[in-house]
Amino acid sequence: MIFASTLFLGYFLPVVLGVYYLLPAAGRWRNRWLLVASYVFYGWWDPMLLPLLFGLTLWSFGFAWLLGRADFTAGRRKTLLVLGVSGTLVALFFGKYFGFACENYDWLAARLGWDPAPATRWALPLGISFFTFHAISTLVDVYRRIAKPMESLADYACYLAFFPQLIAGPILRFGPIAPAFTARTHAWSQVASGLGLFALGLAKKVLIANTLAPVADLAFNARQLDAGLAWFGLLAYAMQLYYDFSGYSDMAVGLGRMFGFEFPRNFNAPYLAESVTDFWRRWHLSLSAFLRDYLYIPLGGNRHGLARTAANLLVVMLLGGLWHGAQWTYVVWGLWHGLLLVSERWLGGRAWYASLPRFFRVLCTFGLILIGWVFFRSPTLGAAFAYLRALVDFVPAGAAPAQWLGAELFTAPYVAIVGVALGLAWSRRRAHDWSMPLTGRRALLCGVLLLLSLGVLGAHKANPFLYFQF
Amino acid sequence: MSPVRSKVFVVAAMLGLIALPVAQWWGDRAAGRPAAWVQLFERPPTAAHLRAVEQAWQEAAARNAYLRGLAAAPGLAWLRSAEGPVLTVRGSVNQPDGTWLFYRPDVRLLSQRPPAGSVERAAAATIHWRDQLASRGVRLIVVVAPNKAAVQRPGAFEVEEVWKSPELRRYQEALTANRVEFVDLHAAFAAAPVDLRRKAPLYLPRDTHWSKAGLDLAAAAIVERLGWPQRADVYRGREVSVPHVGDLERWLGSAPSGRQEMVWKVTDDQGNPPAAKSGGAEVLLLGDSFCRIFEDGAVVGGGLKSQLAWRLGRPVGQLRQDGGGATLVRQDLVRRPEWLQGLKVVVWEFAERDLTSPETEWAQVVLPR
């Protein structure tokens, strides 16, 4: 079930929200209901995945409970932490990276004359990248005594499976969010604000990202490209990815608000970044913060000289790339960002174009980010390098494939939507702030956007969110 | 916003969402269909069943009057126009309003990388089919009808070269290597003088298929490959102007342009179009809608079958399956073995899109013993 579907909007959301507010606020009835709803939401993809989610819940709840005991020595607690996190990572590895590891082993084995790996493969369990991170966050935060383990297994299961953030985040840190599962306030203004933000996110996804999806798909699967087509396709993809993912995040945060939770903001006008370092303070903030606090700082952060800092940055970005998908293209994307961050660190935390006027700083950063998106979107490294070559191929392609691609892409709706998307991405308005508090006029606009999005959804087949594959 | 206004907003928005299943239920009830949600409980909730239910609900949503009303909101139709099945291109010198229509999936087969393996399946099926016919003493001539977008191009439609895809080249090479007879219509169309193509485009502006000029060239190339003497004195041929509503025009749903198209109409002495009965024809044309154009409905006797008959001076049989030139029409021949009696040549036409479209099946069809 995806948020941008008639199934979720017409059936699931009204029922879950309606029953939630009919249940007594006292006691844990509402949490139990959210747990049931979340398991239905997750099981809708494939009921066979529910034991995995439940197993990971039991595993991390058990280790968190042990880590929370006051009578254990530091050494024993550390052993428990390593065991608990390792078990979670094993689930992540087998769920997400086993096939990739086998493919690479087979490639090597073919050259060395070894036997190939067993042919066993399985589909990526949806949302595993996110709920394993939530489990790790629980264990580390309890170990660091930032938070106490939850007493109720049902409440903890609700935290791990909570449907607004289950599939594609934002990644919730256990410490800050855990108290809300025992006590939270509800107000109509909060529900209205959440609904407004949800409507904005839905419009971002349905009206902008889904409209741009064919442009990016056509460009990245083209037989022939020239620079004009390649740049237009890349711009469209950059906008599609941003509006798709930030739209999903807005919907998730909005849903959280409707049920009395306040999730962290996940985007902060990332394409206005003036350096790559700045970009990572604006893009997928919950992942950046997770990697910083649970990986970069434990590795030593920037406390051991420039060389060690550079190595740490590269490791973090490489793993961050790999987190997005078990493909070499994501590894190279992570490496590209790692190298850019290292170069800026080398220059004292400034980009090499830092002396230019702000407009050009934003433009240069955007260009570097776009180059990274080529690796992010391409199916193979070969296709990525071919696309990069097309970006500098300024001789117009005269053959029929490129002419027809141009006839399809350079149409008024596509050009207008790319322009609007770019304009909004470079404006200073943020949906997160705009919806809080929600004024009457804004509510009206959100209502119109909600209805328009429903109209588009009715006419189109459901289009999954890009970040579901991660 | 005050708590009261917040409450009003939330309730109104929720009513807007709940209207969706209510309208669905109402529509299903009016149409005598069971309610959509009932399907959910018809089988155990496996992933496959849940996907099927979701698919059915999404299709039902497309019939939902409430959603259709919302989709008609100003601007949304314009936004979706970039994704419709018909691509409108301007810039032809031959159209009064300068508009040409193209079938978007055909255009995409040209501009997009095709899935791997389809050409190899097509070549294997073709060679197998040739062997099947050869065992009956029947000769096979393969004709690939070029994609309209490969011949007529955006901008200066009439003066560009005809684009031959790498997949078609590979297919042709495989056929040549296995001595399967092939009529290269791309080459025939490309060889036509530019002046002629400018005056009379080879494809119809508002239809997926070829025009009289394209049909002329195709028939001439097939007859040349056949190598039989031409006898233009048996049937009568004359150029007539006929009203024609293109398939793309119909699809677009716009008001018909009322265009007249030129057709080379072929008749016998009695004024009837040339016809072959099963069991009596030496030449049988197997094909898809490229064989239907001007041989169906209001206009009969102007299509490929009649063009071939006029040039050869003998009736030509025809079996036709719209969109099924690759496999369905061959299976049709298996079901009608009477056509094989006395048969000497099968001219097998299919659309270029069949070579690369992932939806095309390339079955190995076995003729009855």
Range name among A152-166, B201-215, B267-281 with the lowest pLDDT average: B267-281
Q: How confident is the model over B227-238, as a mean pLDDT?
A: 86
Statement to judge: residues B119 and B179 lie in one domain: yes
Task: Compare CB distances from B67 to A211, A417, A455 and report the shortest one's residue.
Answer: A455
Q: Which of A3, A5, A6 to mutate to probe the B interface, most B CBs <10 Å?
A: A6
Statement to judge: residues B144 and B239 lie in one domain: yes
Q: What are phi and psi of A253, to 5 degrees?
A: -65, -40
Range of the domain at B195: 86-356
Inside any domain, residue A13 = no
Q: How confident is the model over B300-323, as a mean pLDDT?
A: 91
Mean residue pLDDT of chain A comes to: 89
Inside any domain, residue B263 = yes
Query: d(Cα A281, Cα A288) in Å, to the nearest integer?
Result: 7
Range of the domain at A439: 190-469
B90 SS3 class: strand
| d(CA B310, nearest CA chain A) in Å | 34
Of B22-36, B264-278, B324-338, the range with the highest mean pLDDT is B324-338
Statement to judge: residues B130 and B194 lie in one domain: yes
Task: Compare CB distances from A443 to B9, B21, B72 and report the shortest one's residue.
Answer: B9
Res B215 pLDDT > 50: yes
Indicate the residue among A133, A168, A185 that finishes a domain: A185
Res B238 pLDDT > 80: yes
Statement to judge: residues B58 and B169 lie in one domain: no
Question: Cβ separation of B3 and A458 shorter than 8 Å?
Answer: no
Helix-strand-coil split of chain A, %, nearest 5? 70, 0, 30
Q: Does A379 touch chain B (CB under 8 A)?
A: no
Question: How many distinct structural domains can be found in chain A?
Answer: 2
> Around A229, how many Cα atoms within 13 Å sit in the side-chain half-sphere?
28
Statement to judge: residues B238 and B325 lie in one domain: yes
Question: Cβ separation of B54 and A9 shorter than 8 Å?
Answer: no
Question: What is chain A's Cα-based Rg?
Answer: 23
**Residues B311 and B232 sit within 8 Å (Cβ to Cβ):** yes
The confidence score (pLDDT) of residue B359 equals 84
Query: d(Cα A73, Cα A272) in Å, to the nearest integer?
Result: 48
Contacts of A275 (CB under 8 A, 6+ apart): A344, A350, A351, A354, A361, A365
pLDDT digits (tens, 9 = 90+) for A201-249: 999 999 999 999 999 999 999 998 989 999 999 999 999 999 999 999 9
Statement to judge: residues B126 and B212 lie in one domain: yes
Query: d(Cα A203, Cα A197) in Å, to the nearest integer?
Result: 10
The confidence score (pLDDT) of residue B27 equals 82
Question: How many distinct structural domains can be found in chain B?
Answer: 2
Q: How confident is the model at residue A460 (pLDDT cuts 50, 70, 90)?
A: low
Res B93 pLDDT > 50: no
Indicate the residue among B80, B114, B145 that finishes a domain: B80
Question: Cβ separation of A438 and B80 shorter than 8 Å?
Answer: no
The confidence score (pLDDT) of residue B77 equals 77
The confidence score (pLDDT) of residue B325 equals 92
Residues of B in contact with A192 (CB under 8 A): 1, 5-7, 9-10
Nearest to residue A185, comparing CAs of A127, A250, A260, A126? A260
Task: Compare CB distances from A413 to B54, B64, B79 and report the shortest one's residue.
Answer: B79
Statement to judge: residues B46 and B9 lie in one domain: yes
Statement to judge: residues A30 and A124 lie in one domain: yes
Q: Does A458 touch chain B (CB under 8 A)?
A: yes
Statement to judge: residues A174 and A195 lie in one domain: no
Residues of A in contact with B148 (CB under 8 A): none
Find residues 382-401 of chain A whose CB sits inside 8 Å of chain B.
Answer: 399-401
Return the structure tokens found at A441: 């006029």
Statement to judge: residues B336 and B320 lie in one domain: yes
Res A435 pLDDT > 80: no
Question: How much of chain A, in percent, has pLDDT values that exceed 90?
Answer: 58
Residues of B in contact with A11 (CB under 8 A): 21, 37
Statement to judge: residues A299 and A434 lie in one domain: yes
**End-to-end Cα, chain B, rounded Å:** 82
Statement to judge: residues A381 and A422 lie in one domain: yes
Nearest residue of A to residue B111, measured between CA atoms = A401
Indicate the residue among A185, A202, A223 that finishes a domain: A185
Inside any domain, residue A256 = yes
pLDDT digits (tens, 9 = 90+) for B145-202: 999 998 887 665 545 578 889 999 999 999 999 999 999 999 999 888 877 777 788 8
Q: How confident is the model over A360-366, as a mean pLDDT?
A: 95
Identify which has the larger pLDDT, B3 or B279.
B3
| d(CA A166, nearest CA chain B) in Å | 18
Indicate the residue among B55, B80, B105 that finishes a domain: B80
Given the residues A134, A284, A324, A337, the one annotated as active site: A324
pLDDT digits (tens, 9 = 90+) for B111-150: 999 888 789 999 999 999 999 999 999 999 999 999 999 8
Nearest to residue B346, comparing CAs of B161, B157, B132? B132
Q: Is A337 a catalytic residue?
A: no
Range name among A444-458, B88-102, B107-121 with the lowest pLDDT average: B88-102
CB count in 10 Å sphere of residue B155: 13
Range name among A103-112, A294-303, A430-439 with the lowest pLDDT average: A430-439
| d(CA B128, nearest CA chain A) in Å | 30
**Residues A230 and A220 sit within 8 Å (Cβ to Cβ):** no
Indicate the residue among A135, A169, A185 that finishes a domain: A185
Of A433-437, B21-25, B303-307, the range with the highest mean pLDDT is B303-307
Nearest residue of B to residue A405, measured between CA atoms = B111
Q: Which of B6, B22, B41 to mutate to probe the A interface, most A CBs <10 Å?
A: B6
Statement to judge: residues B62 and B157 lie in one domain: no
